[in-house]
Amino acid sequence: MDFSLSETERDLVDLCREFAQKEIAPRAPAAWEAAVCPTDLLREMGALGLLGMLIPEEWGGIGMSTVGFVAAMEQLGLADQSVAAAWQAHVTIGSLPLYLFGDDAQRDRWLRPLAEGRSLGAFGLTEPDAGSDARGISTRAERRDGGWIINGRKAFISNAGTDMSFGVTLLARTAGDDDARPTYASFVVETDTPGFTVGPKLRGIGWRGLDTRDLFFDDVWVADDHLVGDPAMGLNQFLGTLEVGRISIAALSLSLTQAVLDLATDYAKERVQFGQPISKFQAVQFKLADIATELEAARWLTYRAASLRDAGLPFRKEAAMAKLKASRLATWAASEAVQIHGGVGYMLDSPVARFYCDAKVLEIGEGTNEIQHLVIARALGC
Ligand SMILES: Cc1cc2nc3c(=O)[nH]c(=O)nc-3n(C[C@H](O)[C@H](O)[C@H](O)COP(=O)(O)OP(=O)(O)OC[C@H]3O[C@@H](n4cnc5c(N)ncnc54)[C@H](O)[C@@H]3O)c2cc1C
């Protein structure tokens, strides 16, 4: 296995490193305090082509490989996890359903502005009573007046309530079906469609800059051309899209782990106790060595899942393994890094504390880690 980057991928990594260091990192502390999605930064990333990363040039993107996307994330996530979270949600689950399942007219109308960075994409699956159990959604779409009427509510939806949000691609049960054998379809609902409203921005432990809200659909009518893909295959489309999202969350986890490893190593070399830097204490050294070793293992799993996707091979199990391993590592490594910082690391003015807060959601979003266990166990034939 060789995961060395091509020249194009290396150029992209350089671009992301420079943008992250110059434009994102200096604003991270203030962005944390403000707790607002920095859409001006996302627009700048769009101008650099970063918002259409996994979309071919034909539809306004830059047609990057999944391996290149992971490598880009490793740079962006070092600077600010909220910005990286908004970016990755847009690039994967926010844009891919339209690219993979939409027709050319839909791609031209909605995907192109997303890929060119003129608008932000959102993925509406979760509901108050249906998270892990995606089949349990109750949002309904019924045929009416040459189109569809949608009623229901979505919970914790990212990127749908900002000043550059285009709306949402959502999953709904299609009415008229026997509930014992329900069918599901996906639809685009644009911002400003009558009956579609967004709730207030939700406040999380971390990812404070990510715009996450509940969405409400009250007799929302959309024309037939808003139905995305095969009307009987909506659930498969959404679950398939989440597989790419899992590689993305794994990559975000790698970036967080690298960030806290760097911070803890630097701090351990500077902080003097008992007459010597704490990096000279074996207990501290072992923590750092363990994080570095686990990070390398998680990195290999993540790049492997990404390279399988690039090769057009199945990657469901590998994506679940990468997400499980990397997100568990991120929460543990962040905790160890705070420990190495002592009291300073507990204070929210320190970058390591912000990364600690940002880590937990990595074990929840795009399928909880318990669900990743189920996916892996099923692949084992259980
Ligand atoms: C910041 C943030 C952003 C998000 N953005 C989006 C978004 O853009 N779009 C979107 O659609 N969703 C989004 N989500 C929702 C997210 O995908 C769900 O929170 C997640 O899938 C879990 O669903 P739930 O919260 O309903 O938890 P539940 O499904 O209720 O799970 C609760 C607990 O039960 C466990 N559990 C459930 N079923 C099983 C089982 N069969 N076996 C073992 N354990 C089980 C879970 O692992 C978990 O520990 C976001 C969430 C957050 C926090």
Query: Is the CB of residue 79 less than 8 Å from the CB of residue 20?
Result: yes
Mean pLDDT computed over every residue of the chain: 96
Q: What is the pLDDT of residues 227-285, one digit of tens each?
A: 999 999 999 999 999 999 999 999 999 999 999 999 999 999 999 999 999 999 999 99
Tell me how far apart the alpha carbons of residues 76 and 293 are, in angstroms, rounded to a whole number.
Answer: 22
pLDDT, tens digit, for every residue of 36-87?
A: 999 999 999 999 999 999 999 999 999 999 999 999 999 999 999 999 999 9
Nearest Cα residue to atom 24 of ligand 1:
131
How confident is the model over 17-45, as pLDDT tens digits?
999 999 999 999 999 999 999 999 999 99
Pocket test for ligand 1, best of 126, 168, 249 (most atoms within 8 A of CB): 126
- Name the residues annotated as catalytic: 366
- Report the residue among 88, 95, 129, 132 best suited for mutation to probe ligand 1: largest number of ligand atoms under 8 A from its CB: 132
18 CB burial (10 A radius; 0-12, 13-18, 19+): exposed
State whether the beta carbon of 364 lies less than 6 angstroms from ligand 1: yes
Q: Is 45 in the pocket of ligand 1 (CB under 6 A)?
A: no
Q: Tens of pLDDT along 178-229?
A: 667 789 999 999 999 999 999 999 999 999 999 999 999 999 999 999 999 9
Mutate which of 205, 360, 368 for ligand 1 pocket (most atoms within 8 A of beta carbon): 368
Q: With a 6 A CB cut-off, is 157 part of the ligand 1 pocket?
A: yes
DSSP 335-375: HHHHHHHTHHHHSTTSHHHHHHHHHGGGGTTTS-HHHHHHH
CA of 370 to the centre of ligand 1 (A): 10
Q: Return the ligand 1 atom nearest residue 374 CA.
A: 42
Q: How far is Cα 57 from Cα 255, in angstroms, rounded to an integer?
A: 27
pTM to 2 decimals? 0.97
Ligand 1 within 6 A of CB of 62: no
